[in-house]
Structure 1
Amino acid sequence: MWWGRSAGGRWTGDNARVIVDCAIYQNGCRTEGPEDLSDALDAARASGDAFLWIGMYEPTEQEFEHVSREFGLHKLAVEDALTAHQRPKLEVYDDSLFVVLKPVMYDEAADTVTTGELMLFIGDSFVVTVRHGEGAALAAVRRRLEHEPEVLRHGPTAVLYAVSDAVVDHYIEVAAELQADLEELEAEVFSPNPSDSKNTAARIYGFKRQVLEFRRATNPLLQPMERLAFGEVPFVHEHAQPFFRDVADHLTRASEYIDGLDRLLSDALAAHLAQMGVRQNDDVRKISAWAAMAAVPTMVAGIYGMNFEHMPELRQVWGYPVVVAVMVGICLGLHRMFKRRGWL
């Protein structure tokens, strides 16, 4: 026996570590089937209206070998599923479809976007899901489908739709969270009392990197979803196309949302750099104004400090106060002029 379930419902056998769940669904309902994988697949195919759904988490090559052999999965798709680090895509093979999705998670405390990987093998009477990363657990999707037998009756197509819909809907939720954080960042950029400029620029740049990571998950998925929505793809029920069109529409909205975030971040960075330039110009003007006022007494004191004997007013009683008064008057005049021009 390769796998089975104990009395408590836990998976046992050689691959118990990677088997998340496995069940036969017939006429939209979960049923108990043979414990042997080969027998379960044969039973699903024999019934005509049933399919087998097996979910796995980060299997090794040895752990996945039996599954790939029993289901007749293409070796190139198997290699991609085991290696991970794939772009979202849809590939059609003789006996199955291979779909790669990249679920997105956002850690608001750390301001970081992380992506997992979710691979689906869709056949005539089976679904194999392979998950990499901590996010994108499919337990909630499976439970939701099990409470919607009218959807599950569409077979493996229903699983592909439900998983794609859950992943894409979460894109929109993460984009909304990023939008809220971006509004806080914009308020900081345009604050009259900005914080450390270097820290703000670093935050904007880091935010752009998170958005770029997000775009790598969404943009490549547009074409596969359009193929599922408008093209004739094997192993996909024709009546499911309107559902995939809805997923494609949500994905387009998420992609446009992310593109908008990227443009706003670029504008915020440009505005921040412009503000830094304006503040630097203000600082330079203030320094220049004070330097100009300091130059007047420095010049006069320098002239009278040259120790010549024959200089005007040297021996006059009123010479010193007059020179000091002239210096103060010139400095006050410069201060007034700079104040009018907004330099001080």
Structure 2
Amino acid sequence: MSMAGNLRKVGSLRGVDSLRRVARLARRRPRVDLSHPARSPLGSAVVNCVTYRRGIRQSGSSDVRDAVRHVRKHGDGFVWLGLHEPSEREFADIADLFDLHPLAVEDAVLAHQRPKLEEYGETLFAVFKTCCYVDHAQLTATSEVVDTGEIMVFVGRDFVITVRHGRHGSLGHVREDLEASPEQLAKGPAAVLHAIADHVVDDYLKVTECVQSDIDQVEMEVFAKDGERADPGRIYQLKRELLEFKRAVVPLGRPVQTLATEPPPVVPPEIQAYFRDVSDHLLRVAEQVAAFDELLNSILQAHLAQVTVAQNADMRKITAWAAVIAVPTMVCGVYGMNFDYMPGLHARYGYAVLLAVIGALCFGLHRGFRRNGWL
């Protein structure tokens, strides 16, 4: 074979390899950065729309109507639709397609809801408060410690709709973990609800560990030497941030307990056991938050007590020195009244004796105050 033929053969092999690489890349599913606040190319508010059958992600169109039509045609599987801060207009068509209750739709669009669990016919509506710890080089009186967001979840027989509000709370890795366990994902939409609840509570545990470090730092500074000079604004700010965290954790206890003990029909019994584990973790977080609240109260009271003690010590010192200075002031005031007949007024050593008496009295007072801890 000629050299030109060999070159053509090599070029064709390289072309085949290139096509194979392109095909492999095309088979890879697109990865969307769900933590980014920008809207996804799938729509103004749609982050992802995927169909699952027997726990396996199905390829095909990402159009919501096509996905629902495909699932209901085959009679198995479900659709997982992810949204980020949709407007009322953007959510209207989705609400009509899945027959969502208007009250639940209003809560999902407006956000700023308490954690809760509502049942509307065959659709379950759950609200979770997401929390993340805000890193800071040093805690100040204005530091943001806990940032919160919201995740609303609609769970039906053949669909899961997640509506996320806030700058964090990405569900990308939750989806990936579920897709890595097809046997769990095959249990239906309730498995997604459990994974989201478990993800939210796990984030709570991470926040409690970081808040514990801040509380330890504040406590160490308050009980250190010159602890009365610590900034009480830092303690108060940490308590306010803990209160915001508490508003996310405590109200979630009853919904998770309901899912663990008396779940609605959309949650099968095999998923109920998983919610009991989530309930245990949430109870631990709630206990830690209550303990943190009590500890911050004690730290704040201890700081105020230290300030009071320091002020009392300063007042004792001022009073003691005032008593010492009062002796020469009184004596000099008496002898400054210009009477003719006063003790030692015309004596040769009267002035020296008077100074000696004043010095002895001042020394005695000073020594007595030092012995009693006033100076």
**1:223-238 pair list within 5 angstroms:** 223-238=254-269
Q: Which residue of 1 is the match for residue 370 of structure 2?
A: 339
Counterpart in 1 of 2:282?
251
Contact 1:188 1:195 in 2 (8 A): no
Match of 1:87 among 111, 114, 127: 114
1:123 to 147, 156, 170: 156
Q: Specify the SS of the correspondent of 1:116.
A: strand
The RMSD of aligned alpha carbons is 1.9
Aligned length: 337
1:43-58, aligned counterparts within 5 Å? 43-58=70-85
Q: Which position in structure 2 is the counterpart of 1:156?
A: 189
Q: Are 1:271 and 2:302 matched, yes or no?
A: yes
User: What SS does the corresponding residue of 1:100 show, helix, strand or coil?
Assistant: strand
On the 8 A contact 2:257/2:276 being kept in 1, the answer is yes
Residue identity in the other structure for 2:170: A
- Corresponding residue number in structure 1 for 2:69: 42
Question: Offset of 1:314 from its aligned partner?
Answer: 0.8
Larger radius of gyration: 2
SS at match of 1:103: strand
**Large movers: runs of 4+ above 4 Å:** 7-15
Structure 1 partner of 2:270: 239
Deviation at 1:9, TM superposition (A): 4.7
Matched, 1:194 2:221: no
Tell me the equivalent position of 2:173. 140
Contact 2:228 2:306 in 1 (8 A): no
The corresponding residue for 2:98 is 71
Once the two structures are TM-superposed, the CA of residue 157 in structure 1 deviates from its matched residue by: 0.7
Matching of residues 168-179 of structure 1 within 5 Å: 168-179=201-212
Letter in 1 for 2:92: E
Tell me the residue number matched to 1:323.
354
Q: State the Cα distance separating 1:124 from its structure 2 match.
A: 0.3
SS of the equivalent of 1:23 reads strand
Q: What are the ranges of 5 or more consecutive residues in structure 1 without an aligned counterpart? A: 1-6
Segments of 5+ residues of structure 2 without an aligned counterpart are 1-27, 33-38, 137-142
1-side partners of 2:233 and 2:85: how far apart?
Answer: 35
- Helix, strand or coil: the match of 1:170? helix
Distance 1:14 1:62 in 2: 18
Deviation, 1:47, is: 2.8
Q: Alpha-carbon deviations, 1:194-249, whole Å to 9, x = none?
A: 2634x2x1111111101110010011000000110000312112111110000000
Query: For 2:128 and 2:31, how far apart are their aligned partners in 1?
Result: 27
Aligned mates of 1:122, 1:47 — CA distance in 2 = 19
- Cα separation, 1, equivalents of 2:332 and 2:310: 33
Q: TM-score, normalised by structure 2?
A: 0.86
CA change 1:308–1:73 in 2 (3 A) is: same
Native 8 Å contact 2:130 2:248 kept in 1: yes
Counterpart code for 1:249: D
Measure how far apart 1:150 and its partner are: 1.2
Alignment-derived partner of residue 89 in structure 2: 62
Alignment partner, residue 4 of structure 1: none
Q: Percent of aligned positions with the same letter in both sequences?
A: 48
